[in-house]
């Protein structure tokens, strides 16, 4: 009886894992905010008495280190198509972890520098839209100062 329920549970776990693998990508989960991530990082550091180590310079070095770990995933693979279709499930999972490390250190760095990252990123998006007007740069990868010269 115990063996049968254990086998059934194992099968259910396998099916759940398979379904997770097959789930179609549909953008990001909709409810998580940068403020929620900032708060989680504050709680994480407070609980470990790590604020003493989370200075801006240390956080920047940690962020750069994580960008290096992220780069390693793509190293020697040649061009990778959107969606990373040739990545194994394990590689894709590792990719998610390293992207998260980068984001978490970025959020923590912004917080320790007292930069409101949510506002800053929205301002930056507006600046980029003005710098690269769609009607002028459509289909071009030129830098903003190059298309200004050519037009």
- Using the rule CB under 5 A, which residue among 69, 72, 123, 146 binds Mg ion? 69
Q: Which stretch in 16-24, 36-44, 46-54, 60-68 sits in contact with Mg ion by CB under 5 A?
A: 60-68
Measured CA to CA, the distance from residue 114 to residue 112 in angstroms comes to 5
Buried b (16+ CB within 10 A) or exposed e, 33-45: ebeebbeebbeeb
Residue with tokens 């071009």: 140
- Considering only 31-39, 92-100, 110-118, 122-130, which stretch makes contact with Mg ion by CB under 5 A? 92-100
- Distance of closest approach, residue 68 Cβ to Mg ion, in angstroms: 9
Q: Is 72 an interacting residue with respect to Mg ion (CB under 5 A)?
A: no
Quick check: 15 binds Mg ion (CB under 5 A)? no
Q: Which is nearer to Mg ion, 12 or 69 (CB)?
A: 69
Instruction: Report the residue number, 16 or 69, with the smaller CB distance to Mg ion.
Output: 69
Q: Which is nearer to Mg ion, 45 or 118 (CB)?
A: 45
Q: Which residues does 95 contact at the CB level (< 8 Å), separation at least 6?
A: 70, 73, 84, 87
- Subset of 97-126 contacting Mg ion (CB under 5 A): 98, 101
Residues that bind Mg ion (CB under 5 A): 66, 69, 98, 101
């Amino acid at each position: 009886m115990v063996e049968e329920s254990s086998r059934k549970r194992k099968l259910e776990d396998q099916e759940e894992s398979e379904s997770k693998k097959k789930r179609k990508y549909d953008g990001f989960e909709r409810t998580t905010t940068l403020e929620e991530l900032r708060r989680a990082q504050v709680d994480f550091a407070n609980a470990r008495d790590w604020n003493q180590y989370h200075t801006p310079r240390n956080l920047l070095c940690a962020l750069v280190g994580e960008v290096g770990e992220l780069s390693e995933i793509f190293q020697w693979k040649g061009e990778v198509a959107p969606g990373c279709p040739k990545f194994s499930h394990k590689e894709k999972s590792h990719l998610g972890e390293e992207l998260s490390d980068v984001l978490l250190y970025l959020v923590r760095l912004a917080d320790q520098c007292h930069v409101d990252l949510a506002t800053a990123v929205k301002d930056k998006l507006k600046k980029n839209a003005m710098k690269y007007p769609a009607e002028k740069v459509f289909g071009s990868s030129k830098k903003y100062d190059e298309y200004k010269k050519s037009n």
